[in-house]
Amino acid sequence: MKLHRTKFQEKLNEALKAVLPIIGIVLALCFTVAPISPSILMAFLIGAVLLVVGMMLFTLGVELSMTPMGERVGTCMTQSKKLSVMVILSFILGVVITISEPDLQVLAEQVPSIPNLALIFAVAFGVGIFLVIALLRMLFGIPLPCMLVFFYGLVIALAFFVPKSFLSVAFDAGGVTTGPMTVPFIMAMGVGIAAIRSDQHAADDSFGLVSLCSIGPILSVLVLGLIYHPESTEYIPEQIPDINSSVELWGLFAEGFPKYMWEMAVSLFPILVFFGIFQIIFRGMQKRTLIKIGIGLVYTYTGLFLFLTGVNVGFMPAGNYLGQVIASNPYRWIIVPVGMLIGYFIVLAEPAVYVLTKQVEDITSGAISAKAMSLSLSIGVSVSLGLAMIRVLTGISILWFIIPGYGIALILSFVVPKIFTAIAFDSGGVASGPMTATFLLPFAMGACVSVGGNIVADAFGVVAMVAMTPLITIQVLGLVYQIRSSKAVSSMQPAGMGLQEAFDLLGDDEIIEL
C-alpha cells in the first residue's frame, strides 16, 4: 500500500513539473500581451487540473499494463520463429493500435479535405505495413540509416506531385500517429523482440520501430492525395465557445466527459481483444501479472479520457484564442519567441515523452539520462515552434523546412552511434502528441486567421515541424557523447594500441561510466 502511494506521489510530481510551466506561460500572456475572457481562462485552468490528474494516472497505467503487454507480444512473436506469423501479427497490431490512437482522431476532426474514416484507415494501413518493415529490420539487422534515407527520399519525391492541401496534413499524420497509445506498446514490443537476440547490437535495434512507423502515415496520405480529389479543401475554423456563467462552463465539460469516455473505450477495445486472443494462443502469463495489467488498463483508460477532456475542452479554445490575439497585435513578430517559449515547456507535458525518456535511460543503463533527453527534446521543439510561427506569418512552403531538416538528420545518422540515430528518429514521433494536436495546432490556426493566411497550407504542418527538429538535436547529443567517450578512452589508451582495442579492454560498466 505504501509503495502504491509512493508511485502515485512520484507520478503526480512528474505531471506537475510538466504542466505547471505551461500554465505559468499562458497566465503571463493573459495578463500582459494577450488578454482573454475570464470564461476561456477558467476553462483552461479546469482543463489544466484534468491534464495533471490524467497524466498521473496514464503514466502509472502504462507502467503497469501497456509496457508488459508490448514486451510479452514482442517476445512471443520472436519465439514462435515463424516469419509468416510474425508478419501477420505485426500488420494487424499496427492497424489496430493506430485506429486506437487518440491523436489521430483529433487530427482527422480538424482536416477539411479528407473524410475522417478515409484518413484514419489510410494512416492505419501505412503504420501496419511499416511495423512489418521495422520488425524485419530488427530480425535481419538491416542498418536503420540506409532504410531512413530510402524511405524519406521516397517521401520527398512524392511530395512534389501532391496538392498543397494534402502536403502539410501528410507530414502531420506521421507525427500524431505515434502518440500515447502507440508508443508504449510499440517500444515495449521492440524491447521484447530484442530480448530474444543475444548479439551486441540487440539493444540498439530495440529502438527505431517508432521512427519507421512514423513514415508509413506520411507515405499513405501522400498516396491518398494522388488518387483522391476532394470537392472542397477550405477550412472553416470552429467557433470559440461563448460562456456566460459557471453553469455553462460546467456544461462544456459535462458534454466532454461522456464523449471522451466513449472514444477511449472504443480506442482501447481493439487492443484488449488483440491481447486477449494473443494470451489464449500463447498463454504463459501468470494470473497475478494479468490482474496487474487489468488494473493498469483501468488507470490508462481513466487517465486518457481525463487528459483528452482537459486538452480538448480547456486547452484547444485557449490555444486558438491566444494565437488570434497575439498575431493581431501590431508587433505580430512577438508570436515567434512566444511560440518558442511554449514549445520548450509543452513537450514535457506529452504523455509518450515520459515513456520514451524512461525507457532510453533504462535500456542504456543511465548512459543517456532522461534529463539529457528531455532537454534535447525541449530545445528541438522550441526551435520547431519558432520556425512554424515564421511559416504562419510568411506563408513559406513546408518543403523549404522539411527537406533541409531531414537532409541534416539523415547525414548525421551516418556519423553518430547507431543507438542515438534510432532514439532520435523515435523521439520525433513521440514529441508530437496530443498536446501538440490540441494546443499548438489551434494556436497556429488562430494566428493564421489573424494574419489572413491559408490555414490548410500554413497552419497545418506545425506537428510535422515538432516531429522533425528532435531528430537533429538528439543526434547532436549523440555526437557530443561520442566525442567525449573517444577523448576519455584515448586518455586511458596504452601506447601503440588502437582506439577500438582500448574500448574492448573496458568492461560494460566502465563504458557506461564514461
Higher per-residue confidence, 275 vs 219? 219
Q: Answer yes or no: is pLDDT of 451 > 50.
A: yes
Q: What is the pLDDT of residues 320-333, one digit of tens each?
A: 888 888 888 888 88
Q: Confidence class of residue 397 from pLDDT cuts 50, 70 and 90?
A: confident
For residue 12, being part of any structural domain is answered with no
pTM for the model: 0.75
For residue 1, being part of any structural domain is answered with no
Higher per-residue confidence, 191 vs 226? 226
For residue 30, being part of any structural domain is answered with yes
Contact between 433 and 140 under an 8 Å Cβ cutoff? The reply is no
Q: Confidence class of residue 509 from pLDDT cuts 50, 70 and 90?
A: very low
Q: Which of 162-166, 318-322, 371-375 has the lowest mean pLDDT?
A: 162-166
Q: Confidence class of residue 462 from pLDDT cuts 50, 70 and 90?
A: confident
Q: What is the mean pLDDT of residues 190-198?
A: 66
For residue 10, being part of any structural domain is answered with no
| pLDDT score recorded for residue 230 | 63
| pLDDT score recorded for residue 500 | 46
Enumerate residues 6+ apart whose C-beta is below 8 A from 277. none
C-alpha cell at 501: 582495442
Q: Confidence class of residue 183 from pLDDT cuts 50, 70 and 90?
A: confident
For residue 47, being part of any structural domain is answered with yes
| pLDDT score recorded for residue 173 | 83
Q: Answer yes or no: is pLDDT of 487 > 70.
A: yes
Report the distance separating Cα 449 and Cα 328, nearest Å.
9
Three-state SS sequence of 5-27:
HHHHHHHHHHHHHHHHHHHHHHH
Q: Which of 277-286, 314-323, 429-438 has the lowest mean pLDDT?
A: 429-438
| pLDDT score recorded for residue 404 | 92
Instruction: Provide the CB-side half-sphere exposure for 394 (13 A, CA).
Output: 13
Q: Which of 43-47, 133-137, 510-514 has the lowest mean pLDDT?
A: 510-514
| pLDDT score recorded for residue 292 | 87
Report the distance separating Cα 94 and Cα 134, nearest Å.
11
375: exposed, middle or buried (Cβ count in 10 Å: 0-12, 13-18, 19+):
middle
For residue 95, being part of any structural domain is answered with yes
Q: What is the mean pLDDT of residues 509-513?
A: 33
Domain count along the chain: 1
Q: What is the mean pLDDT of residues 494-512?
A: 44
Q: What is the mean pLDDT of residues 121-128?
A: 89
Q: What is the pLDDT of residues 209-268, one digit of tens each?
A: 778 888 888 899 888 888 876 655 555 555 666 777 778 888 888 888 898 898 888 878
For residue 14, being part of any structural domain is answered with no
**C-alpha of 161 from chain center:** 27
Q: Confidence class of residue 508 from pLDDT cuts 50, 70 and 90?
A: very low
Higher per-residue confidence, 376 vs 106? 376
Q: Answer yes or no: is pLDDT of 496 > 70.
A: no
Percent of the chain past pLDDT 90, that is, above it, reads 6
What's the whole-number average pLDDT of the chain?
79
Contact between 179 and 104 under an 8 Å Cβ cutoff? The reply is yes
For residue 398, being part of any structural domain is answered with yes
Q: Answer yes or no: is pLDDT of 10 > 70.
A: yes
C-alpha cell at 38: 475570464
Domain that holds residue 173: 19-488+499-513
| pLDDT score recorded for residue 145 | 85
Report the distance separating Cα 291 and Cα 287, nearest Å.
6
Task: Say which amino acid occupies 68.
Answer: P
Contact between 193 and 114 under an 8 Å Cβ cutoff? The reply is no
| pLDDT score recorded for residue 505 | 44
Q: Answer yes or no: is pLDDT of 514 > 80.
A: no
Helix, strand, or coil here: 485? Answer: helix
**C-alpha of 337 from chain center:** 23
Task: Say which amino acid occupies 39.
Answer: S
Report the distance separating Cα 251 and Cα 139, nearest Å.
52
| pLDDT score recorded for residue 491 | 66
- Provide Rg for the chain, Cα atoms: 22
